[in-house]
Amino acid sequence: MIQSSTFLTTLHLLKRSVQVAAGVTLFKDKVGDLRWCEGASMLPTLNATGDLLVQIPLSSIFNLRHQAIQASDTSKNSSRLREPTTVDQLNLNRGDLVNFVSPLNPSVLACKRIIGLPGDKILVDQQPKHSHSSPDSSWQLSNAGYDYTHKTLLTVPDGHLWLQGDNYAVSVDSRTYGPVPIGLVSGKIIARVWPNFCWLSKPFQYK
């Protein structure tokens, strides 16, 4: 009897563990999950020592948008989803913070801000230089020393985003590896929960 009771208890705990694991996985895939982010590239928005962030997976955003559009089409007796652009489907905006797989290292998940959407024209400046021995026709004086002044105007291609860190002086971002494929983006950051709570979901407003 004791062995039977122990077996049933173990079986019950195993069942509950599987249910909890499935629930956590479903929540992470469909609702949101927590991500740890550290480093100086997003100062002063995020702490260099680390922040615990709330991420909404892009798959969850797309599903919600899909359902909303289908509901609005019901009155028109249409079951077909209108085809918006990819960034519209995913509700991505300039100023949003996103997590993405680094194009330089697939094992690294980076956090940057959306500066440009597909079709946007970006005036690209090279990474800021902290110092330079002497100015010439290609350098200008700044608070950090001399900055290279050669700039390039480019258009963000379809299916890509231009991502940069808020701390331009140290951030390795699209200025280094170019536009990032949307397929590398895992989710949108909406809030910080530690060390202090704050919403991070207010994008830049452009006229």
Active site amino acids: 41, 112
Q: What is the identity of the amino acid at 85?
A: T
For residue 181, the cross-strand partners are: 160
80: closest CA among 90, 91, 72, 70? 70
Report how far apart, in Å, the C-alpha atoms of 109 and of each of 39, 100, 119, 184 are.
12, 5, 25, 9
Q: Is 120 strand, coil or helix?
A: coil
Q: Is 132 strand, coil or helix?
A: coil
Determine contact, residues 184/103, Cβ cutoff 8 Å.
yes
Gyration radius (Cα) of the chain, Å: 23
Q: Is 113 strand, coil or helix?
A: strand
109: closest CA among 180, 45, 192, 59? 180
* Beta strands 180-181; 33-37: pairing state: unpaired
Distance from C-alpha of 53 to C-alpha of 56, rounded to nearest angstrom: 10
Distance from C-alpha of 203 to C-alpha of 54, rounded to nearest angstrom: 16
